[in-house]
Structure 1
Amino acid sequence: MAAEEDYGRPAVLLNPLEGDPTDADSHIGGPMLWPIDDEWPSCDADGEPFVGAVQLYQRDFPELPFPGGTDLLQVFLCTLDHDTPGPDVRLVWRDSTTVFELIEEEPQPSQQEELYVPTVNVFEPIRYTEYPAKISGGTKIGGWTAWNDSDPLTFACPECGAVQRQTLSLGTYEPSGDNVEWVFGEDGNLNIFLCEKDVHHPIKVLID
């Protein structure tokens, strides 16, 4: 029988705090490093532009599975409800060193659910090992999924069949009490699962 330590997974509690980040910083809700000649992400369902939600640089969070030639993960949310309850999610992996001229103004949706719009935060990350018997519900990289309303589930990549593992989780509540002021489901987490073989394969998003 496996010992508890065999179930330990590395995790990074992002520990968001109010701040004034630039596009050169890792953050929640701040300005995105977006090239002027790239099309801004928009929702396939309603045509509204996505909102820049999270930006994570490799220098700050090497724990993320950055593909070769990239050093920046950008997370965008369509801040409207969809058929699967909650916002739609778009991930962009990019090489920040190739961005020279930035977009002048980020497009804003004409309508949105305010409960999905974050406040602006920087991070004071806390690195630790997480176990199934003690799971943080805050915003984090890696670790285990905090199942609040359902039994634990597993997911397979629809493209290659590999396991999809929770890579990023956005929390309604933070252990520090400094909440980002977005709300997912019944005060739960928005969990983003990525294919272990290729992060460009389709992602799985689950609010619990």
Structure 2
Amino acid sequence: MSIRENFARPAVLLNPAAGEPTDADSHIGGPVLWPIDEPWPWCEGDGHYDINVKSEGVRLPFVGALQLYRRDFPELPFPEGTDLLQVFLCTVHHIGVGGPDVRLVWRDSSTVVELVEEEPEPSVQEEIYVPTVNVLEPIRFTEYAHPYDRPEELEDEEWPETSAGTKIGGWTCWWQTGPATFTCPECGAEQRQTLSLGTREPSGEHVEWAFGRDGNLNVLTCEKDVRHPFHVHVD
């Protein structure tokens, strides 16, 4: 194995495109598969911040931002008995996050019989955190480490650029910060990037959300158990 191969990871660029997905599809924005008998996720308002003081302390529903089915994205670390990952955002700024707060829901889609009649809408949102509705046209590729993640003697070598697009797996596209490592607060295992939501897409078909200064919202999960507490790093 070459030195370069030691710093290669599989990745899936989600490659969003305008479309009209249903709750039975993998997509960004749009309707989510949510059962009528399960409480919708709400943010209690702790940590909300905005310059107009409209959301401070206000209880708001999370917004369905992304859902990914196992049949489309087997690369995700689905826990046993699940086949759907749903990502929700509290679409106002959170001081401790540096962006929107995040909720992950791993579920067995076959157990959802009757859907919620209407998804609740927040009384206030920051438009930069609200995604447009997109279908996904995934591109699978091998991604190489950002210079910050390589040994010093390899930093100046010319490798393919780490993608800043919305993706599964791969390497963190450090921009304003980094490199940084994160450990699971429950078991001490390393937390690795599972998802990255990008402000800018390589295709130019942007989702119209923005994180940091045209950066990424990176979700890092525990390598041993993705249901352990996860970490959100906006860079």
Whether TM-score is above 0.5 comes out as yes
| Structure 2 residue 103 is the aligned partner of structure 1 residue 90 | yes
Work out the CA distance in 2 between the residues paired with 1:77 and 1:178. Answer: 21
The aligned counterpart of 2:54 is none
The aligned counterpart of 1:43 is 43
What pairs up with 1:27-176 in 2 under 5 angstroms? 27-44=27-44, 45=46, 46-84=58-96, 85-132=98-145, 133=159, 134-176=161-203
Kindly provide the CA deviation profile for residues 63-109 of structure 1, in whole angstroms up to 9, marking residues without a partner as x. 00000000000000000111121000000000000001000000000
Work out the CA distance in 1 between the residues paired with 2:141 and 2:41. Answer: 33
Q: What is the identity, as a one-letter code, of the residue corresponding to 1:67?
A: P
Work out the CA distance in 2 between the residues paired with 1:60 and 1:2. Answer: 31
Kindly provide the CA deviation profile for residues 20-66 of structure 1, in whole angstroms up to 9, marking residues without a partner as x. 00000000001000000000001132420000000000000000000
Query: Is the deviation greater in 128-137 or in 114-123?
Result: 128-137
**TM-score normalised by structure 2 residue count:** 0.87
How many residue pairs get matched? 208
The aligned counterpart of 1:7 is 7
Query: Is the deviation greater in 130-139 or in 31-40?
Result: 130-139
Q: What is the identity, as a one-letter code, of the residue corresponding to 1:65?
A: P
Work out the CA distance in 1 between the residues paired with 2:171 and 2:130. Answer: 25
Q: Secondary structure at the match of 1:5?
A: helix
Q: Secondary structure at the match of 2:92?
A: coil
Kindly provide the CA deviation profile for residues 108-128 of structure 1, in whole angstroms up to 9, marking residues without a partner as x. 000010100000000110000
Work out the CA distance in 1 between the residues paired with 2:198 and 2:43. Answer: 22
Work out the CA distance in 1 between the residues paired with 2:101 and 2:203. Answer: 27
- Rg larger in structure: 2
**Unaligned 5+ runs, structure 1:** none
* C-alpha deviation, 1:151, in angstroms: 2.3
Q: What is the identity, as a one-letter code, of the residue corresponding to 1:50?
A: F
Work out the CA distance in 2 between the residues paired with 1:150 and 1:83. Answer: 17
Q: What is the identity, as a one-letter code, of the residue corresponding to 1:89?
A: V
CA RMSD of aligned residues (A): 1.1
* C-alpha deviation, 1:2, in angstroms: 6.2
Work out the CA distance in 1 between the residues paired with 2:178 and 2:211. Answer: 18
Query: Is the deviation greater in 137-146 or in 42-51?
Result: 42-51
Q: Secondary structure at the match of 1:80?
A: strand
Work out the CA distance in 1 between the residues paired with 2:126 and 2:109. Answer: 30
The aligned counterpart of 2:51 is none
Q: What is the identity, as a one-letter code, of the residue corresponding to 2:128?
A: L
Identity percentage over the alignment?
A: 71
Q: Secondary structure at the match of 1:23?
A: coil
